[in-house]
Amino acid sequence: MLKEPVLTIANLSKKYNDHWAVQDLNITVNRGEIYGFLGRNGAGKTTTIRMIMDLIKPTRGDIQLFGVPKTNLGKDLFRRIGATIEYPGFYPNLTAKENLYYNAKMFEIKPSRINEVLNFMGLTAAANRVVKGFSLGMKQRLGLARALLHSPDFLILDEPTNGLDPAGIKEIRDIIKNLNREQNITIFVSSHILSEVEQMATRVGIIHNGTLAEEITLEEMHRQGQRYLELKVSDPQIAITVIKQNLAMQKIDLLENGYLHVYGQLDQPALVNRLLLEAGLEVSHLTLHQETLEDRFMRITGGEE
């Protein structure tokens, strides 16, 4: 089946003085996807989203939405996009319903739609409470309600789970999956919480130092995902030397937490353990893992944070 691009980014770049925040970025988001846009803090995620939403101008490159150059985007096409960027801002002394009323008026939306989105986001009971008393999780949900007011079919979410506790993160994740599944909304979501993205995205793009390091479907990632041995030893550097001298391992990563990830011939974990013990090392942890999205991200970006 022919894929229909909702967002196409070609050679997108943004330069601040002598620093390229984003450089030659190429991304395609197809209809029906939940596209996870991943990167460390400062990698260029928010800058990219701000360029998509025309909040800042790119230094060079092209953006198309629904197959139309962004520069030619009319009012009707613009209404098809909803977005929350960074922390959502509201009038603190107005109620949730009053805040949404001003947005509804701007888009010429019937007031009844306000009740619909508040109900969908589980905010009906808080509709007449002033926003300054809302928790961060409630504000995030209200931000999503605002983005959904005009019934968009493409949603852009910048770190929608920032600052939330585990229950709040799961709640937002379930809402995003439901919007995609039940309302057929295409979703572009940026995040650095990789375990959450792995549970909801269909495809991911990893941005590193302003450029796209990898783009892959979750299905493909799980199919080709590498297995590795995870080790915790008393002296990681000696362990690396011992393993390389005795076994044909493809790659060994030393993580910041002191753990080793060993890729390659993984059918003999007992042999690895014996070699390390014979070298006088204490092995406190040794398990065989299937590579997760977080593992892949750390491997691609060099494990920096």
Backbone angles phi, psi at 176, to 5 degrees: -60, -45
Boundary-marking domain end, from 160, 186, 218: 218
Same structural domain, 230 and 185:
no
Same structural domain, 152 and 36:
yes
List Cβ neighbours of 23 (8 Å cut-off, separation of 6 or more): 13, 15, 210, 211
Same structural domain, 14 and 85:
yes
Distance of CA 34 to the CA centre of its chain: 10
Q: For residue 55, what is the enclosing H or E element?
A: none
pLDDT at 290: 82
Boundary-marking domain end, from 185, 218, 251: 218
Same structural domain, 164 and 260:
no
Taking alpha carbons only, the member of 21, 42, 25 closest to residue 305 is 42
pLDDT at 226: 75
Same structural domain, 73 and 187:
yes
> 262: domain CATH number?
3.30.70.100
Boundary-marking domain end, from 189, 218, 247: 218
| DSSP character string of 107-170 | TT--THHHHHHHHHTT-GGGTTSBGGG--HHHHHHHHHHHHHTT--SEEEEESTTTT--HHHHH
What is residue 281's DSSP assignment? -
Same structural domain, 289 and 241:
yes
Q: For each of the chain's 305 residues, which pLDDT tens digit applies?
A: 568 999 999 999 999 999 999 999 999 999 999 999 999 888 999 999 999 998 999 999 999 999 999 887 777 778 899 999 877 789 999 999 999 999 898 888 998 999 999 999 999 999 999 999 999 889 999 999 999 999 999 999 998 988 788 888 898 999 999 999 999 999 999 988 898 999 999 999 999 999 999 999 999 988 877 788 899 999 999 999 999 888 876 688 888 888 998 887 666 788 889 999 999 999 999 998 888 898 889 888 875 44
Same structural domain, 178 and 276:
no
Angle between helices 136-148 and 96-106 (to 10 degrees): 20
In whole angstroms, what is the distance from residue 109 CA to residue 127 CA? 18
Same structural domain, 58 and 172:
yes
Same structural domain, 280 and 198:
no
Q: For residue 67, what is the enclosing H or E element?
A: none
Domain that holds residue 97: 5-218
Same structural domain, 210 and 235:
no
Number of domains in the chain: 2
> 74: domain CATH number?
3.40.50.300
pLDDT at 256: 82
pLDDT at 304: 45
| Number of H-type helices and E-type strands within the chain | 11, 14
Same structural domain, 17 and 113:
yes
Same structural domain, 214 and 294:
no
